[in-house]
Amino acid sequence: MKRISWDQYFMAQSHLLALRSTCSRLMVGATIVRDKRIIAGGYNGSISGDAHCIDDGCYVVDNHCVRTIHAEVNALLQCAKFGVPTEGAEIYVTHFPCLNCCKAIIQSGIKNVYYANDYKNNPYAVELFDNAGVIVKQVELEEMILDLKSSEKLAFTAELLQKLANAGVSDEEIKKLYEQANQLYMST
């Protein structure tokens, strides 16, 4: 069995953290890494003890929910709370960081930002990262690596399509089914 790459490992962790999000608008997770070791993780949600968006709805001001702390900041605060240095670390985030998170990441000394999905990528954030020498790279999560039965599912689907073709289903219909299966298995 082939091991997953470090980038996929840490990005998968960020996606797992996002599942803890209490934001009903967008679920985001962040993992801070130093020397190939996870030093902190965070997800977007309300401050401890306060109402959550999933319970009481978002508290939107100027088209932005002010109830939540972003995943990146939660991860950085975890490091601050427990005295874990972030200088020279890396952060893996499910979505491109907003402008405020960008500034916090730069100020924390993080040198590499890996994100899976574009999300309102602010041109000024891109400029700030560039000016600060922070390397920013998109690393989309390859979801198939998380499915331990993906090979069996692909083989089963291929076998079914072949049986349909042998049973006389038209080439056009087989092609449509193949494309649907391909979208289902290869979508991220």
Q: How far apart are the first and last CA of the chain?
A: 22
Burial letters 78-96, b for 16+ CB under 10 A, else e: bbeeeeeebeebbbbbbbb
* Residue among 46, 53, 51, 52 at smallest CA distance from 68: 46
Between vectors from CA 18 to CA 151 and to CA 64, what angle results, nearest 5°? 140
Residues annotated catalytic, as ranges = 72
Helix, strand and coil percent figures for the chain, each rounded to 5: 45, 20, 35
Sign of CA dihedral 20, 50, 85, 135: positive
Please give the Cα distance from 162 to 187 (Å, whole number): 22
Distant-in-sequence, close-in-space partners of 34: CB < 8 Å, separation ≥ 6: 85, 86, 88, 89, 90
